Structure 1
Amino acid sequence: MNDSNAPKQGDGFDTLSLSPTLQDHETNGDGRVDIDIDPRASKQLDKILTSQTSHDPANARPLRPLSPTSTPPPNLNILIQVIGSRGDIQPFAALGHELQKHGHRVRLATHDTFRTFVQSAGLEFFPVGGDPSELMAYMVKNPGLIPSMGSIRAGDIQSKRKMVAEMLDGFWRSCIDADPETGAPFVADAIVANPPGFAHVHCAQALGVPLHVMFTMPWTSTRAFPHPLANLKGKDEGPSAGKYLSYGIVEFMTWKGLGDLVNRWREDTLCLEPIATSEGCRLLESLAIPFAYFFSPALVPRPADWGSNVDVCGFVFRDPPKYEPPAALRKFLDAGSRPVYIGFGSIVVDDADRIATIIHEAVSLLGIRAIISSGWTNLASETDAEPNPPNPDIFHIGECPHEWLFQQVAAVVHHGGAGTTACGLGYGKPTIVVPFFGDQPFWGRMIAEAGAGPPPIPYAALTSRKLADGLSYALSPQALAAALEIANTMSVEQGARVAVEAFHKHLPRAGLRCELFPQETAAWSYKGEHRAVRLSKRAVAILTARGVLEEKKLKLHETKPFTIDIQRWDPITAISAASVSTLADMGQATARLVYEPISEARQSSTSRQPSPARGSGASSPAVEKASPSVAVATSARAGKIVTSVAKGVLVSIPLAATEGLRAVPRLYGEDVKRHADVRDFKSGAVVAGQEFRNGMAGAAMDIVTYTYRGKRDEGPMGVAKGLAKGVGNGEVDSERKYRERKEGGGDLAHTAR
């Protein structure tokens, strides 16, 4: 959050996770994390968070459109990175289409499975690997963040980690590789992504380009409701610290499982430093990355403690596709009352027969008609000898656009995916959610709180009686009225258009444009005689071809640089953490010293096998290179150990001690001004000079101020305390002190008088 008084995700979380306040956090069977927080500590934390989350009421207002006179941004190469099911991809396809209307070139990078879908939407496609059906099946079997023993024994964990590593590499290639089909060059000028992709912020840092995270469910810390993947134990009424902290806990557990993969990828592929666990699990909030959410405030009201970098845009829908129903479906719809829709989309379940039997029994209990969608799981009953059963009140259907089908039914029963939820409510249909994992219970709960459906019925607890009771409520006038009220609000929302406005609003306008071609984005900086000149890729190509530019004076222009610093709280924990990190780096380097040469030797051994063309007496040319390659790997890793020791002793630990001492005034309520980013020797020297000047000025001012306060409040003993505090308080925000002195209301002004 970019508001100065907004809470950081680390405020309270870092110390809480090390104390008995957090009594329990484990995974349960519905894909969420069980969190139990001590009630007494929660009340104390509520007071702290309440005092820190008092935003300007303007932040809670809906996003206002850009002024018609606002200068539009230059045409950008926008990369959209998304992982998930088709329901996750669909809103981003609509967003990409809207971005194209503003002159941007849009590439959507996602799973290979969705190539046809993305290209049919008129967008460029880039494959990143990963199989969404495998991911879905894995999440159903292991709905929590901690895998089951069965999955560990089956080797699922290693295969899924391999899949994640493949997607990380694919996402980076999507930033810089040419189009795989046309060969058209592409380098991303900005990145839009959903949070589960993991690669987004790291790719943006490597390129120095803006990042805008967009998602279909809440991912920003708030006291209003818990993280959709968290299940808070105990009372869940009203805003609470537990709900706020649930976001940090979920992020921590996710990073704990994949952080090593991400850091290795950062080092080996992006040439970036690894990130500490304390920062890796809260990067998006600590860097104040802009967020845009694809849900309606009619269903999920915008929390008042979200900062101005968070926008709620409304649900994003695609243009309804043209669809001509088959004659059998049309005949079924015309044969009686409106049926209910039952389907679970791309969810893959092992006990499809049980679910099919429950559905048939519930429909028979109520004597209603139903359309059952097979999706990725065949929900036809074992007794069905034909694609459609003999029961004239039940019709099984394959692929069919929800936009058309939901207009033909009285109510919908589904898994609670954000896209399906939005579509059903958008047409005013009461909804029953049967959640399997993830955020699906969250949407079921939101629907129930709005009165548009019954409380969610977990998939594992589903029975024909519970489903029949839920259908009875969904078909009631009360549920219909609530659903229609939500639909009326959603009908005036334009989610894709508002999301594009949010994207444009948060772009860093300063330094974004080329100075020769203002309609193009600056990609290079050329060091001229008097100042640096921002140039686009085309401008550099033209000027270089004509011999006007010296290539050695060109450097990459970062329109949005990211600096990831470790937040320090005090010198003791800072030095301890830096020491542990140094030891961990040494241990990792030592381990790689062992296994990387072995891996290199195995590869050499494989290449040593004779090929059929050469016969048994011939050997591969790689044989002669085997020993040198192993030696190189060994020496490189040995050097890494030395580098880890030197970096830790000479840089990391002293820097941690300095930052820890600098943070001490924060412990007794003072504001510590954040110093400017250090990116090279020159910027480091400038920052050092500024910090020395501010430190000396602040120290001189504080010695007088705190000594006076101590004498006034505690007498002679207070003089000593105030003097000690003043000497150690030189890094306090001197701008704030200056304002106090100028206004004449501070203790320093009183002392001077």
Structure 2
Amino acid sequence: MSHRNFHCPSDDPPPYELMTSHGMQGGTVVDEGGRVEVDLDSKVCKAVAKLVRLPNNENLSHPPPNYPDFARGEIKLNIVIQVVGSRGDVQPFIALGNELQKHGHRVRLATHNVFDTFVRGSGLEFYPIGGDPAELMAYMVKNPGLIPQMKRLRYGDIQKKRAMVAEMLDGCWKSCIEDDPMSQTPFVADAIIANPPSFAHIHCAQALAVPVHLMFTMPWSSTKAFPHPLANLKYSDTSQPIANYLSYSIVGWMTWQGLGDIVNKWRSEIDLEPVPATEGPCLAETLNVPFTYCWSPTLMPKPSDWPSHIDVCGFFFREPPNYTPPPELANFLRDGPPPVYIGFGSIVIGDPEKFTATVLEAVHTVGVRAIISRGWSKLGGASSRNIFYIDDCPHDWLFQHVAGVVHHGGAGTTASGLQNGCPTAIVPFFGDQPFWGNMVAASGAGPKPIPYREVNADNLAEAIGFCLQHSALAAAQDMAFKMRSESGVQAAVASFHRQLPLEKMKCQILPDQPVVWEFQKSFSKPIYLSNIAAQILSENQQIDPRHLHLLVFSRPITKMQQDETDSEPTISYNVNTIVIDNQRWDPITGTASATVATGADILKYGTDIFYQLIKEAKRGRSEVSRPNISRYQHSPAIDAGSSSVADVVDPPGHSSYPRTSAQTMGATLAASGKSVGKFVGYGYKGAIVDIPLATTEGLRAVPRLYGEDVKTLGPVRDWKSGVAVAGKGFLYGVAGGLTDIVVQPYRGAQVEGAIGVAKGVAKGTIGTMTKLSSGSFLYKALPFSTNETPV
């Protein structure tokens, strides 16, 4: 299948809202439908393109057709699945969660509060992350593109959505570590599965040092086979495969512009360093995060340049529901030819009455019977002989009884229609919906998608008529026949298990339990234990809990550890630690960016010194100081057996206790002193570590500019590892610098003869200077670094 089948024509704008962005100026324009016009010849896009490392297809390895068997119960994990979106986005992950439960895992699905009953009714644990999907859907219909219209900015929509993203980030983090809201059963995630728009996934995994696996319904990984589904490409001096590949990075950069500050502010709240601006846009690809795409490989096979940690497994279907239709629906289906289904699910349309009239006119024009789903937009009115309105009905059951389906193109609805051999017409609104519309049209099972903003009675009637043609029915039934041999959910679970570092995750005493602790006494070989194993061995006095080291950066301490040790446990680093590298491209930009970042920190905390003085002084004039509870040990409230803690701590009639001057002065000095400490600390760190290290990394990166690989030396966690890595870097720098002057001309001569020798001399000279310099600087800078610094 050629790339033409995947390319979205320029007159089919698939609008999408990536949680707001103010855009990259000079290289991208968003059209009226929300599609991103990417000009790869612009200076901005060319600059971004230089930061993108193209894959070497010769080195790609793909998994075998059959995944290795994973024995059920081989390891039992606490898995949290984080999903942002509509009901159609949540439903496939319910099927995934149920399949994971069959393997002995404890599964929590974390999503919007409104899906509580839906998730718990499916037998999964539920955790609310906030966010209103109805409000989100309504906003995305009005603002379908990456960059909203100016009038929406004035209405304050952007601020509302940014606040919603911040709320969901916090909710996703809590879903990893907080007890079950209903049963209060403790929960700490051993692994995270998420769809990309939940945004918190990689960061939560980094904080907990646990594996993360992304799953999605549209292409999110760079490929040369087809462009990003949201991008229109314009280019002249770039080949189409390269342009396709770069489009993913451009869209990623635009997304990060709107979200980066929110994500980094939230990361600081969970004790993580900010993500560098150059790494945030394509973090999942840089870290090789495992990815599973939940669409049928029959509909679109895996591109040849996707590596082995990316799988295309098939649609996620739930077990067929036990559904008995109401008598009115059963009678309608029986009293005439099969109807056409028309529904738009969770989409919130601005003018449902007008849209209903358009739908009814199209149905009347074609002369068919129709079942119309009211959905979140509350379409329709009273049912009639040829029109039947429904509220909630399982698509898996209903689509067995219809002649065709017309919908918004959600992945779940599309999958259900194709599974049942239904010709499908799609009216996309945003997101992956245009992608699915084009895929269905390419298969012949439906007409060309009609963007929502272009829908009228005539083209909708034409689309319905297409679905009633024999050729469309034959294509849909052929697709259904091929899809029956796929087991999307089972394949996705196998993909998840295949990507786990199982041998490193298993407890050495109880292999079906995940490792949480490292037990090491003196210089003995460490033993890796699960919570249960550590608890049992400690209670039976087989180990001394003081020699237990917690293997997860932010994992909550167990009660056993709190009770049986005199101090908090030593924190070690798990085998799954995520290290986000602030990659430097050359010494000039590396030094400049580090200097700017240090200057920004100094300015921020320097200003904060005076701001905190003013802030605390104002609070001193307005705040009240809560009285000490001891003042009310014999208060009438306590004597009367009051059940209100608030009445005891701050009883009625005693609500105003202004701060004293001494209290105000103490709070002011404390706040200002904290800012002084940060001011000095960040300045020292920047001058001694960050700037020299950035210069060093820039020098080390120079050979990469002419195609040479640069060795990764490893993370720096403390001064000891800093010395070790510095020594390694010094040796590599000296050895490489001294040999380059000879090796590079020799290599060049073998490839290009005399011209190659000249190029090799230039490369060798540059390599000698940069490698010797970087080795020397590295040895001076790294031992002072005590943070997790990747090199």
Letter in 2 for 1:226: P
Query: How far apart, in 1, do the equivalents of 2:579 and 2:391 lie?
Result: 49
Matched, 1:516 2:509: yes
Map 1:154-169 → 2, pairs under 5 A: 154-169=155-170
Give yes or no for contact 2:36–2:230 (8 Å, CA) kept in 1.
Answer: yes
Change (3 A) 1:317 1:581: same
Give yes or no for contact 2:110–2:175 (8 Å, CA) kept in 1.
Answer: yes
SS at match of 1:240: helix
Question: CA-to-partner distance for each residue in 1:646-705, whole Å, 9 max, x for gaps?
Answer: 222221111111011111111222121222222222222222222222333333332332
How much does 1:570 deviate?
1.2
How much does 1:615 deviate?
6.8
Letter in 2 for 1:619: S
How much does 1:596 deviate?
6.5
Map 1:645-664 → 2, pairs under 5 A: 645-664=683-702
Query: How far apart, in 1, do the equivalents of 2:53 and 2:423 lie?
Result: 36
Change (3 A) 1:623 1:396: farther
Partner of 1:27: 30
Structure 2, unaligned runs of 5 or more: 1-23, 552-573, 627-645, 774-791
Partner of 2:436: 443
Give yes or no for contact 1:62–1:311 (8 Å, CA) kept in 2.
Answer: no
Which of 11, 27, 41 aligns to 1:38? It is 41
Question: CA-to-partner distance for each residue in 1:419-445, whole Å, 9 max, x for gaps?
Answer: 111111111111111111122111111
Letter in 1 for 2:38: I
Matched, 1:228 2:229: yes
Query: How far apart, in 1, do the equivalents of 2:485 and 2:220 lie?
Result: 25
Question: CA-to-partner distance for each residue in 1:247-300, whole Å, 9 max, x for gaps?
Answer: 1122222221121121111112x2111111111111100000000111011212
Letter in 2 for 1:532: P
SS at match of 2:148: coil
Which of 561, 572, 586 aligns to 2:588? It is 572
Change (3 A) 1:446 1:591: farther
Question: CA-to-partner distance for each residue in 1:527-563, whole Å, 9 max, x for gaps?
Answer: 2332221111112222333444444432222141111
Change (3 A) 1:104 1:156: same
Which of 472, 477, 490 aligns to 2:465? It is 472
Which of 520, 531, 535 aligns to 2:525? It is 531
Which of 716, 723, 732 aligns to 1:694? It is 732
Map 1:542-553 → 2, pairs under 5 A: 542-553=536-547
Map 1:362-401 → 2, pairs under 5 A: 362-380=362-380, 384=381, 387-388=382-383, 390=384, 392-401=385-394
Give yes or no for contact 1:223–1:305 (8 Å, CA) kept in 2.
Answer: yes
Give yes or no for contact 2:212–2:289 (8 Å, CA) kept in 1.
Answer: yes
Partner of 2:298: 298
Partner of 1:263: 264
Query: How far apart, in 2, do the equivalents of 1:48 and 1:629 lie?
Result: 47
Query: How far apart, in 2, do the equivalents of 1:151 and 1:40 lie?
Result: 29
Partner of 1:619: 656
Letter in 2 for 1:724: T
Query: How far apart, in 2, do the equivalents of 1:709 and 1:200 lie?
Result: 44
Matched, 1:641 2:635: no
SS at match of 1:510: helix
Partner of 2:722: 684
How much does 1:361 deviate?
0.8
Matched residues, percent identical?
50
Give yes or no for contact 2:621–2:659 (8 Å, CA) kept in 1.
Answer: no
Map 1:52-201 → 2, pairs under 5 A: 52-55=55-58, 59=62, 63-67=65-69, 73-201=74-202
Letter in 2 for 1:200: H
Query: How far apart, in 2, do the equivalents of 1:629 and 1:246 lie?
Result: 52
Partner of 1:12: none
Partner of 1:728: 769
Query: How far apart, in 1, do the equivalents of 2:660 and 2:742 lie?
Result: 75
Letter in 2 for 1:117: F
How much does 1:631 deviate?
4.1
Letter in 2 for 1:353: E
Change (3 A) 1:178 1:542: same
Query: How far apart, in 1, do the equivalents of 2:475 and 2:460 lie?
Result: 20
Letter in 2 for 1:204: A
Structure 1, unaligned runs of 5 or more: 1-20, 733-753
Letter in 1 for 2:387: I
Question: CA-to-partner distance for each residue in 1:698-717, whole Å, 9 max, x for gaps?
Answer: 33332332465689737998
Query: How far apart, in 1, do the equivalents of 2:530 and 2:390 lie?
Result: 52
Query: How far apart, in 2, do the equivalents of 1:631 and 1:114 lie?
Result: 48
Matched, 1:502 2:495: yes
TM-score (norm 1): 0.86
Map 1:412-491 → 2, pairs under 5 A: 412-491=405-484
SS at match of 1:672: coil
How much does 1:88 deviate?
0.8
Query: How far apart, in 1, do the equivalents of 2:443 and 2:52 lie?
Result: 27
Which of 709, 713, 717 aligns to 2:754? It is 713
SS at match of 1:445: helix
How much does 1:568 deviate?
1.6
Query: How far apart, in 1, do the equivalents of 2:288 and 2:772 lie?
Result: 23
Give yes or no for contact 1:665–1:728 (8 Å, CA) kept in 2.
Answer: no
Give yes or no for contact 1:30–1:438 (8 Å, CA) kept in 2.
Answer: no
Count matched residues: 702
SS at match of 2:372: strand
TM-score (norm 2): 0.82
Give yes or no for contact 2:52–2:246 (8 Å, CA) kept in 1.
Answer: no
Query: How far apart, in 2, do the equivalents of 1:718 and 1:431 lie?
Result: 58
Partner of 2:710: 672
Q: Bigger shift: 697-706 or 182-191?
A: 697-706
Letter in 2 for 1:574: G
Q: Bigger shift: 563-572 or 143-152?
A: 143-152
Question: CA-to-partner distance for each residue in 1:65-112, whole Å, 9 max, x for gaps?
Answer: 2147x7974211111111111111111111111111111111111111
Give yes or no for contact 1:31–1:139 (8 Å, CA) kept in 2.
Answer: no
Query: How far apart, in 2, do the equivalents of 1:709 and 1:377 lie?
Result: 67
Query: How far apart, in 2, do the equivalents of 1:457 and 1:596 lie?
Result: 56
Query: How far apart, in 2, do the equivalents of 1:281 and 1:219 lie?
Result: 12
Change (3 A) 1:429 1:614: same
SS at match of 1:413: strand
CA RMSD of aligned residues (A): 3.4
Letter in 1 for 2:197: P
